[in-house]
Amino acid sequence: MSRDTKSIGVAFRDQFLEDAELLNCTLTTPTVSGATLTTPTLTNATVTNLTVSGALTIDNVPVSATGNDTTQTATVLKISGTITTGALTTAADAKTSVVLTLVGAAAGDLAFITLAGGTNTTNVAVHSAIVTTNTITVILRNDVASVTALNGTVAFHYLLVK
């Protein structure tokens, strides 16, 4: 197949497609039904009106952050992952910044954060997630108004969407 092909009209039904590669393409209302896609590669692709029935798996890489009760840092290489902070003793109703360095992140991108556990037994909340050039800053807040400090690690999942 020529790499110069500009558009394709494809509907797959009960097919097996392995090691497919689509470069600089636009897929408008693609239909893939009963098919198995194994290691497909989409490079600079635009998908319009994509419906996923079932599970969507996104590469998730665990990373440990380091720092203190005010700021933790980690360098991440994927658009999604699980971050575990170092042990925190953040005071009641105080905040800790977790700064993730991710080349390619940009202002206007969306960062989705969900708590994932850790060893801490005090209530903690995600206060905010702010994306700037090559950085996602997640603010964790000790969600206790009394004197109870955080007492361990906090883990959270992140997903960056452009």
Which residue range forms the structural domain that includes residue 122?
61-161
Query: pLDDT band for position 21 (50/70/90)?
Result: low
Query: pLDDT band for position 91 (50/70/90)?
Result: very high
Q: Is the pTM of this model over 0.85?
A: no
The count of residues in the chain is 162
Query: pLDDT band for position 6 (50/70/90)?
Result: very low
What would the mean pLDDT of 36-55 be, rounded to a whole number?
Answer: 69
Q: Please indicate, yes or no, whether residues 102 and 29 belong to a single structural domain of this protein.
A: no
Position 53 in a domain: no
Position 84 in a domain: yes
* CATH number of the domain within which 137 lies: 2.60.120
Flag whether pLDDT at 85 surpasses 80.
yes
Q: Give the end-to-end CA distance of the chain in Å, rounded to a whole number.
A: 31
The mean predicted confidence, pLDDT, of the chain is: 83
pLDDT at 56: 74
Position 142 in a domain: yes
To 5 degrees, how large is the angle CA 139–CA 89–CA 154? 50
Query: pLDDT band for position 37 (50/70/90)?
Result: low
Q: 10 Å Cβ neighbour count for 117?
A: 11
Q: Please indicate, yes or no, whether residues 41 and 66 belong to a single structural domain of this protein.
A: no
Place of tokens 């004197």: 147
Mapped onto helix, strand or coil, the DSSP state of residue 155 is: strand
Query: pLDDT band for position 42 (50/70/90)?
Result: low
For 105-152, the pLDDT digits (tens) are: 999 999 999 999 999 999 999 999 999 999 999 999 999 988 999 999
Position 56 in a domain: no
Please indicate whether residue 98 or residue 44 has the higher confidence score (pLDDT): 98
